[in-house]
Structure 1
Amino acid sequence: MGQQYSEISDRNIQFIKEQKIYFVGTATKDSRVNISPKGMDSFKVLGPNRVIWLNVTGSGNETSAHIQTDSRMTIMFLAFDGSPNILRLYGHAKVIHRNDVEWNELSAHFTLLPGTRQIFDLSVDIVQNSCGMSVPFYSYNEDREQLKDWAIKKGEHGIEKYWEKKNQKSLDGLESNILEKNIIQTD
């Protein structure tokens, strides 16, 4: 059964490192709930109550728009092999864009991926482990390369055009500020 803790334990950190996928959940008071799967080498634990994750360009930008309105975030990891386990990290996040002061410090924790658009910095207040006994076994084969290949082919200018067309507003019309906060103006 579920157990709650105030910090991320060393055991939980090891579990996180072993996972190939995690899920991010956000919502505002009046928006749709967004649950987004994440992969690649995009998640880092910075301390017992702080994690960051690197976000790359996708078809929408719901998480960013939600967090700028309501900072609540839940991150969930599942054991698809080995002992059953579900790990949830509950807390409040902020969006870090390329032009924000914290960008250089936080981006140094990652190998930046093609199409990188923002980093989320989550202050964790509840850590919950639950049984996960109903989660099926799945085997990991390999990471998909299509998103990385797509971003490389688009190039930086093409990615910015894509943000302009697809990443400015959430499904509910909330602003993501992707262009204002990420595009470096040149004279």
Structure 2
Amino acid sequence: MAKLFDRLDERWRRFIAEQPMYFVATAPDGPSGHVNVSPKGYRDTFAVLDDTTVAYLDLEGSGVETIAHLRQNGRVTIMFCSFTRSAKILRLYGRGRVAVPSDPDWHQLVAHFGPHHGVRTVIVVALDRIADSCGYSVPRMEEVAERDLLNTWSQRPDTRARRAVRSAGARASIDGLPALAPAETDPAHIHT
């Protein structure tokens, strides 16, 4: 049975820091539209800002579903699974916001993360529910290494050119929800 917690204490902060990946889930309003779940890697892209606020570095990759959904309704769930000896799942529920380079707290936020290219936004989540569960059915797996493919790909000249063109126009979700305005971010040139 899940237990609820009122804050991210040191135990949960250590648990989060030990996980090599996490999952982010969002959904648009209403009965139609696509629910989105995104796996996220790189341990240094997630930060606990305080006992009830977390943030993660949003790196340009594929779609903009999370951004579109957060801008529409703010609902988000982040899930950490332990794939090691301890069978544990931690879910962080809350209201998210999308921070872009023109926001006054941008530099303060990106200072929480390691060096990465292709930075698009920072997602900040105010938590309203923190819950664990057993994770008994989650398989034990061994981490071999982080993949540096996204960082490497982000620095290629063709990727940077494609990102510059893409960021110059409006971006929308697969359901047509607005996500990013033209030139709101510049992942071809922004890095931490």
* Common fold by TM > 0.5: yes
Q: Which residue of 2 aligns with 1:168?
A: 171
Q: What is the one-letter code of the residue matched to 2:20? A: K
Q: Partners in 2 of 1:56 and 1:146 — Cα distance?
A: 12
Q: Partners in 2 of 1:110 and 1:129 — Cα distance?
A: 25
In 2 relative to 1, CA 86–178 (structure 1 residues): closer, same or farther, beyond 3 Å?
Answer: farther
- Deviating beyond 6 angstroms after TM superposition, the runs of 4 or more aligned structure 1 residues are none
Q: Partners in 2 of 1:52 and 1:19 — Cα distance?
A: 15
- 3-state DSSP class of the match of 2:55? strand
1:54 CA drift (Å) = 0.2
In 2 relative to 1, CA 37–141 (structure 1 residues): closer, same or farther, beyond 3 Å?
Answer: same
Cα contact 1:78–1:86 (8 A) shared by 2: yes
Q: Which residue of 1 aligns with 2:62?
A: 59
Q: Partners in 2 of 1:95 and 1:64 — Cα distance?
A: 7
- Structure 1 stretches lacking a partner, 5+ long: none
Q: What is the one-letter code of the residue matched to 2:41? A: G
Moved more, 143-152 or 115-124: 143-152
- Structure 2 stretches lacking a partner, 5+ long: 188-192
- 2:110 is the alignment partner of 1:104: no
Q: Partners in 2 of 1:172 and 1:16 — Cα distance?
A: 32
**1:142 aligns with one of 128, 142, 145:** 145
Cα contact 1:56–1:116 (8 A) shared by 2: yes
In 2 relative to 1, CA 157–103 (structure 1 residues): closer, same or farther, beyond 3 Å?
Answer: farther
> How many residues are paired up?
183
- 2:86 is the alignment partner of 1:83: yes
TM-score (norm 1): 0.91
Moved more, 175-184 or 30-39: 175-184
RMSD: 1.8
- 2:36 is the alignment partner of 1:34: yes
